[in-house]
Amino acid sequence: MTTNTSKSNQYDFTGIPIDELISKPLTAIVDAQSKMAREQVKLLLQNCFTFNGEFYQPKVIKMCITRAVIEQRGPDKPPELEQIITFFDLPLISIFPFNSLGIEAVDIHFDIDISTQYTIEIDWENIPSDTDQASSFNTDHDTEVQMLGKVTSSAFTNKKKTESISSDSSYSVDVVAAPLPLPPGLLSIIDVYTKAIEPTQMPEIEN
């Protein structure tokens, strides 16, 4: 009896769409992230800027800073510590924690149980006489049978014997993705605005 194994590699995972299994959730996440970004830009333009028909101008809020200043009241008097309140304008965009409006991390985890199956071709002509009865079983059919699912016992089909080999294996994939930090453009805008914060000494009002 000669036996030929048509598919000898029991752990050949070709045909399993691993790339699709990984990329589909990631694509969905990227879509969600882009939707969030669009809403974020909308919020930014509607609330933090005013459009004057030509360009966007940042909305500002009034802030105040209290600081201690040493004042010399007179040549004979000792210096005094005085609390000075200075008002300054701050762009509204500077106080928003925009980083929190995004997907922080993605963890995709899935397990696949893989069952492999292969066909053994048996040359029935050379089978010893004690198996002749088995060889006459279903001799009319000459089609190959593809077995789907798990087969617990062996089946005879014409000249071929299909066996289900216990070669299950588990395939585990862990994907962790995280978004990039804020885009440099937005960071630059915030940076320019925040660096421009300077107290302005207002002229004293004379009564």
Q: For binding to another protein (CB under 8 A), which residues are involved?
A: 32, 35-36, 39-40, 43, 46-48, 59, 61-68, 86-88, 90, 92, 94-97, 99-104, 194-195, 197-199
Closer CB to another protein, 63 or 173, in the complex? 63
Closer CB to another protein, 167 or 181, in the complex? 181
Minimum Å distance from CB 103 to another protein? 6
Minimum Å distance from CB 46 to another protein? 8
Minimum Å distance from CB 195 to another protein? 7
3-state SS track over the chain:
CCEEECCCCCCCCCCCCHHHHHHHHHHHHHHHHHHHHHHHHHHHHHHCEEECCCCEEECEEEEEEEEEEEECCCCCCCCEEEEEEEEEEEEHHHHCCHHHCCCCCEEEEEEEEECCCEEEEECHHHCCHHHHHHHCCCCCCCCCCCCCCCCCCCEEECCEEEECCCCCEEEEEEEEECCCCCCHHHHHHHHHHHHCCCCCCCCCCCC
Closer CB to another protein, 170 or 200, in the complex? 200
Closer CB to another protein, 4 or 46, in the complex? 46
Minimum Å distance from CB 138 to another protein? 52
